[in-house]
Amino acid sequence: MILTALSVKNAKPKAKPYRPSDGKGLYLIVTEKGSKLWRFNYSLNGKRNTMSFGRWPEIELADARKMRDQARRFVATGRSPLNIRGSKSKPALSWDRSFEAIARDWYASKELGWTARYAALVLGRLEADVFPHLGQEDIDEIEPPRLLEIIHAIEARGAIELARRVSDHCSCIFQYGIAVNKCRWDPASNIRSALMSPRPKQHRLSVPPSKFPKLLATLKAYDGDEVTKLALRFTLLTMVRTQETRIAKWTKFEGWKAIRLCGDSVPSE
């Protein structure tokens, strides 16, 4: 039977403790002395766990249900909801104040203005490097040293540019949180001076026009991999970016004409 506020209030003690259930893992323990304690059962990584939500009437039925739903969201993503409780004197974190909740709201507000590829890239960065560490923390309580710890972990992998981009994403999320009254400041703005600087880019020497014929002759005489040879010739003839050549698929070409363009002669009509 689903509990109601009245049934919780009228639950009387018995000779032994009993457990009226509200469903989805939430239930009330009524002790023989009349205490009423909220509990939540869940399974994570194949193990059954129990979480305490506090005592009625300090925690009403509606509050307990919100805490249950929040905990179920964390369990659904493979994370322990015990981490959101903090100390016993600290109330459970409301989902809509967590960093992940605010980050996903910010992402939803920007997604339509981005390409699908870039949107997936941003979300992937957050889900891989930020949410597992900061996702379930109150966005208003995240301090610069805590955020810097996450960014330094990315830098330690040698991903210096990625670390800077993730820091920028976090800054945008905090700025969004300020706008929607979920946090008061942007700790990402205080760690910029502590970020590692990327190595200077080493640009290849350009080919002057006078040496371009020799380059084409050398390329024609190249006896290495045929795909490499054709890809270089295609890039020179079309002036596309090298990355676009490398990741191009046959479906991007307009029939045999574009493919024959890589050969020794351009076909006539």
| Four-way CATH pick for 99-194: 2.60.40.420, 3.40.50.2000, 3.40.50.12160, 1.10.150.130 | 1.10.150.130
The CA-atom distances, in angstroms, between 44 and each of 22, 69, 86 are 20, 15, 19
Over residues 102-161, the pLDDT tens digits come to 999 999 999 999 999 999 999 999 999 998 888 878 898 888 988 999 999 999 999 999
* pLDDT value for 44: 85
Cα→Cα distances 20→30, 37, 221, 230, Å:
8, 11, 83, 73
Domain boundaries, the chain: 5-92, 99-194, 209-260
pLDDT value at residue 246: 82
Q: How many residues does the chain have?
A: 269
| Confidence label for 1 from pLDDT (cuts 50, 70 and 90) | low
Residue 269 confidence (pLDDT): 38
In angstroms, how far is CA 235 from the centroid of its own chain? 35
- Overall fold of domain 5-92: Double Stranded RNA Binding Domain (3.30.160)
What confidence tens digit (pLDDT) does each residue in 43-97 have?
888 888 888 787 898 889 998 898 888 888 888 878 777 665 543 434 455 667 8
DSSP state of 18: B
